[in-house]
Amino acid sequence: MQKQLVKTGDGSHSFYLPEMDEHYHSKHGSIAESQHIFIQSALLYKAKETEQLKVFEVGMGTGLNVYLTALTAQKNKLKIEMHSIEAYPIKIEEAKKLNYAEILEESASIFYQIHESSWEELHKINNYFHLLKINDQLENFNLKESYDLIYFDAFAPEKQEELWSPEIFKKLYKALNANGILVTYCVKGIIRRRLQENGFKIEKLKGPVGGKREMLRAIKV
């Protein structure tokens, strides 16, 4: 699918898919969104309990969430193993156009390492962060391991309903440890109900500044 490189509200890049009329991130700010939803409201929240965490991501996309998680692990001395699934990986030439390292004033080599590392193998990215990239469709993937956190970052339910199904949420619930957390930017009533019907306790939190007003944190109780 053809991708267009776009700048979002905080100056950071994202991709836009004209065929789907869908962005990889909030138009109001890719970095602002990732930092707020996945890093602040999930990773750093859970890190108050434990310094060793296993994270599963739905939709690796540009690798922004992976990159921010690797940087946060190093800064906060958190031992993190992250598994990220992606059905349609971006090309390395596309990754090289993204300005995340520049905006964050961080090392671009970590970002490239994330993209250049082979799929289906666990890689050490820094002393605190290990990454396994899985090239598969979530619907077909058999989740054998268990996780403390799930970054649920699929395209919107209006665009890809099959990824927001009760079966998927059941599978993700099973893959979480007790008190494990799933976070998502989507707060639609039907999605909240599906999560609740599969055993999650839902919290609605404030969304990223300038973007969506709310987000969801779902806890396995």
Ligand X SMILES: C[S@@+](CC[C@H](N)C(=O)[O-])C[C@H]1O[C@@H](n2cnc3c(N)ncnc32)[C@H](O)[C@@H]1O
* Binding range to ligand X, per CB under 6 A, among 4-12, 48-56, 135-143, 205-213: 135-143
* From candidates 32, 64, 150, 181, binder to ligand X by CB under 6 A: 64
When asked if residue 211 is in the footprint of ligand X (CB under 6 A), the reply is no
> Can you tell me the distance from the alpha carbon of 83 to that of 207, in angstroms, rounded to the nearest whole number?
25
Query: Which tokens belong to 173?
Result: 């619930």
* From candidates 8, 55, 153, 220, binder to ligand X by CB under 6 A: 153
Bridge pairing between strands 122-124 and 129-134: antiparallel
Query: What φ, ψ does residue 72 adopt, rounded to 5°?
Result: -65, -40
Which residues make Cβ contacts (< 8 Å) with residue 75, sequence separation at least 6?
Answer: none
When asked if residue 65 is in the footprint of ligand X (CB under 6 A), the reply is yes
Q: At what angle do helices 64-76 and 108-116 cross, to 10 degrees?
A: 120
When asked if residue 87 is in the footprint of ligand X (CB under 6 A), the reply is yes
Between 49 and 118, name the residue whose CB sits nearer to ligand X.
118
* Binding range to ligand X, per CB under 6 A, among 2-10, 48-56, 131-139, 206-214: 131-139
Nearest to 187, CA basis, from 172, 205, 170, 171: 205
Between 59 and 211, name the residue whose CB sits nearer to ligand X.
59
Please report, as ranges, the residues that interact with ligand X according to CB under 6 A: 24, 59-62, 64-65, 85-88, 137-139, 153-155, 160, 163
